[in-house]
């Protein structure tokens, strides 16, 4: 009789615990603002040429085919082609009241290698996004990890964050690029981001500098220690904790941070 009584008590405690967990989950979900993921036009990747290694050339220095603004249907005027390079200009010549905003390549990638070269203006700041969703009335970084592009020597972000996790090549505000081998403003850097079944690796100037895994408890811990924590930014935490949504895929984007940045040799190999 005593044993049966203990079973009843144990079962009651389990039910109570499950109820509390459900209530906590419901409470957490209730703190997340409503959001809408837009379904804007995408491009057929097969219409783009490949290089000798099988990577799609998504910017060839002559055309912005496939590119458009984040949450927009056209390319913002602050983005243009200059001497065969993709450039964001803070003050583009000959343009009155130019619009800006982040630039995306309009195709959902899942497992891939993104390679490009970049250089930044003095005291410049920019970034690259992967697996991003286009969330109505929200910035691109609310749903996407960011590979930081920065003038480490002169931009104040280099001294902020923790252990250099806002310097070039870093997973912004979460994991510092080590070793930190970014070149100074005005000099070209090579970058590669590999996304494969949730494992993400950053390369800077041919050196692996960051590695992490999405959709894991470690990823959640990283978010909770960042500016995207559940307490500080519930919607960002919700979206970033589930990067890529149900399809685990999203667009690639380059950031308008208000500073001149140049990009070239942009290509993606689908894995």
DSSP 89-141: -SS-TT-SS-----EEEEEEESSEEEEEEEEE-TT-EEEEEEEE--BTTS-GG
On whether both 25 and 107 belong to a single domain, the answer is no
The pLDDT confidence band at residue 29, using thresholds 50, 70 and 90, is low
Is the N-terminal amide bond of 179 cis, ω within 30° of 0?
A: yes
Model pLDDT for residues 248-260, shown as the tens digit of each residue: 999 999 999 999 9
On whether both 26 and 41 belong to a single domain, the answer is no
The pLDDT confidence band at residue 22, using thresholds 50, 70 and 90, is very low
Looking at the structure of the chain, the number of domains it has is 2
**Poorest-confidence range of 16-30, 100-114, 152-166?**
16-30
User: Rounded to whole angstroms, how far apart are CA atoms 190 and 209?
Assistant: 12
pLDDT over 70 at 76, yes or no: yes
Percent of the chain with pLDDT over 90: 86
pLDDT over 80 at 173, yes or no: yes
User: Rounded to whole angstroms, how far apart are CA atoms 243 and 249?
Assistant: 8
On whether both 1 and 84 belong to a single domain, the answer is no
Strand 56-59 and strand 189-196: pairing? unpaired
The pLDDT confidence band at residue 24, using thresholds 50, 70 and 90, is very low
Looking up residue 207, the CATH number of its domain turns out to be 2.60.120.560
pLDDT over 70 at 50, yes or no: yes
**Residue ranges making up the domain that contains 18:** 1-30
- The number of beta carbons lying within 10 Å of the beta carbon of residue 95 is 12
On whether both 61 and 157 belong to a single domain, the answer is yes
On whether both 17 and 54 belong to a single domain, the answer is no
**Poorest-confidence range of 10-19, 88-97, 174-183, 195-204?**
10-19
Model pLDDT for residues 119-171, shown as the tens digit of each residue: 999 999 999 999 999 999 999 999 999 999 999 999 999 999 999 999 999 99
On whether both 94 and 188 belong to a single domain, the answer is yes
Whole-model pTM above 0.75?
A: yes
DSSP string, 228-254: T-TTT-HHHHHHHHTTTGGGT-EEEEE
User: Rounded to whole angstroms, how far apart are CA atoms 28 and 6?
Assistant: 33
């Amino acid at each position: 009789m005593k044993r049966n009584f203990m079973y009843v008590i144990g079962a009651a405690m389990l039910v109570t615990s499950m109820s509390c967990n459900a209530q906590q989950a419901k409470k957490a979900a209730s703190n997340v603002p409503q959001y809408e993921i837009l379904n804007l036009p995408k491009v057929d990747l097969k219409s783009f040429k490949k290089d000798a290694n099988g990577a799609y050339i998504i910017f060839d220095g002559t055309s912005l085919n496939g590119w458009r603004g984040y949450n927009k249907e056209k390319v913002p005027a602050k983005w243009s082609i200059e001497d065969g390079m993709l450039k964001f200009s803070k003050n583009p010549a000959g343009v009155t009241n130019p619009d800006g905003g982040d630039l995306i390549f309009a195709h959902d990638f899942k497992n891939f290698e993104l390679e490009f070269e970049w250089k930044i203006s003095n005291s410049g700041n920019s970034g690259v996004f992967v697996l991003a969703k286009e969330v109505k009335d929200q910035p691109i970084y609310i749903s996407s990890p960011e590979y930081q592009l920065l003038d480490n020597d002169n931009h104040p972000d280099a001294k902020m964050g923790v252990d250099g996790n806002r310097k070039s090549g870093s997973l912004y505000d979460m994991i510092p690029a080590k070793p930190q081998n970014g070149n100074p403003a005005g000099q070209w850097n090579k970058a590669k981001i590999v996304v494969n079944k949730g494992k993400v690796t950053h390369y800077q100037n041919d050196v692996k500098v960051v590695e992490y895994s999405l959709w894991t408890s470690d990823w959640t811990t990283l978010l909770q220690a960042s500016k995207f924590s559940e307490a500080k930014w519930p919607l960002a935490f919700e979206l970033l904790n589930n990067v890529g949504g149900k399809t685990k895929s999203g667009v690639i984007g380059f950031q308008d941070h208000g500073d001149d940045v140049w990009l070239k040799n942009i290509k993606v190999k689908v894995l």
